[in-house]
A and B are shown apart, each in its own frame.
Chain A
Amino acid sequence: MNPGGVFGRIPNPYPGKLFIVEGIDGSGKSKQLGLLAQWLRSQGHLVIFSEWNSSPIVRETTKRGKKRQLLTPLTFSLIHATDFSDRVERDIVPALKAGAVVLADRYVYTAFARDVARGVDRQWVRSLYRFAVTPSLAVYYRVPLDVALYRILSGRPKLKWYEAGMDLGLHTDPSESYRLFQKRIQEEYERIVPEYGLAVMDATLPVEAQQRVLRDLIRPHLHDIVRDPRTVSPEPEWHP
């Protein structure tokens, strides 16, 4: 039964391009997206960044829910979908209509992986996000769990309650809970990759090598898109 359809059935109808990086914490995807943005701008493209939790009104509620531990798997999923929806309507769609290159650090796949790891129904969450624009390309940063965990946990961070998945009661120790939660999330990502045809990046490669691969993946999508008028070289002066 699939009355409402699921995310990903409607292709991006706009002139702009939407590129996504996805992966667990510590996969190095954010750094790669930053480097990609620099390169795209140097090529004269209009680049817009989009991140989770960017809608001011909804952010207040999300913060309150997290701080006071009011969120359940269901309301965690819905409040993030609310925020995401506002971000799509307010930031992503207008930029795509204007023909920009929109770079998103995490997209619907994060919700699919994280919410399902929390026990939310797989089909329900895919239907919930049906309104989202299908990206031109989404790249999954695949990294061994131990490598990612080492990158995050060696800094001895103060893990937040929901970040560590403490709401699931997997373990009383936040670091242990975080490990178990990230493992579940990673398993969900591995299911999403073939389902949605995400490109896979070997996130153990050196930074420069990953960036070369990423640019090669992006390049075929860059034909016929608007460039930033400020950076396009002027026409050669006409000397009669």
Chain B
Amino acid sequence: MAPLKHFESYGQGIPGTKLDDLSGWLIVIEGPDGVGRTTHVNRLRTHLERLGYAVAETGFTRSDLASKGIHDAKEGNTLGANAYNLFYATDFADRLENQILPALRAGFVMITDRYIYSLIARAIVRGADPAWIKQVYSFALKPDAVFYLRITPQVLVPRVLADGPFDYWESGMDVPMGEDLYDSFVRYQGRIIEELDALARDYAFHTLDASRDVDDMAEELCDSVTRQLTRKAAGPAA
């Protein structure tokens, strides 16, 4: 069992929830759509399980509460932009309380495929006030580490295209940001990457170059996370 450690939230915490019974690690993988987060999360999970860690994971719109509503809303594109921002916040809060906190209480390594940062970035790109949306998400726990798979739109586009047609939402067509899916994808993901770069500075991400070969990238990520875990196990969290 991992020792109890000190987790804190960015702001006033989570109503009705004490954070003093948590152990485990909260590891965040951030990066734009199509950068290969799913591949890297899977490899990281396998790697950590081989080392004997209990691993759990979560990702966007996987909450019991709000995932169905968000999918329904996307089908008809029937919600206002700000309501979407808050719907995603609801989904995140539900996963924080019902997936992330229980996993941390049980001493798991919780790998989250994106966290508040991508949600903040997508809200800002859609016109939300940066200070406001950061304040909305201030209930979130500070993770042990955020690994940012950084890539440029120029490298990202051919990779995404190789996997099939551009996705409507991943191209920001609800905004929209260009005449067709290609234009909009390039501009939208370019803006998302700009915002993630800014957040990387504000929130001290570990930035990894994701334009490299997948295997090299996976090895570096696995090594970095392992170092993080063994460092934390050696002493109390900073």
User: What residues make up the interface of A, taking CB atoms closer than 8 Å to B?
Assistant: 3-5, 55-58, 60-61, 64-65, 70-75, 77-79, 81-83, 85-86, 88-90, 118-121, 123-124, 127-128, 130-131
Contacts and interface: CB of A to CB of B under 8 A. Distances in A.
B15 A86 contact: no
Contact of A60 (B13, B69, B131): B69
B36 to A, nearest CB: 30
B86 A81 contact: yes
Contact of B129 (A4, A78, A121): A4
Which of A3, A57, A75, A85 counts the most B-chain CB atoms under 10 A from its CB? Answer: A75
A85 B12 contact: no
Contacts of B14: 74
A60 B78 CA distance: 13
Contact of B93 (A61, A75, A85, A127): A75
Contacts of B229: none
Interface residues of B toward A: which range?
35 or more
The secondary structure that dominates the B interface is: helix
B135 interface: yes
Contacts of B49: none
A162 to B, nearest CB: 14
A123 B80 CA distance: 25
Given A82-B90, A85-B80, A85-B86, A4 B134 contact: yes
Contacts of A81: 86
Contacts of A120: 15
B158 interface: no
Nearest to B92: A78
Contacts of B135: 3-4, 124, 127-128
Nearest to A6: B135
Nearest to B88: A82
A121 B11 contact: yes
B94 interface: yes
B80 A90 contact: yes
A37 B121 CA distance: 42
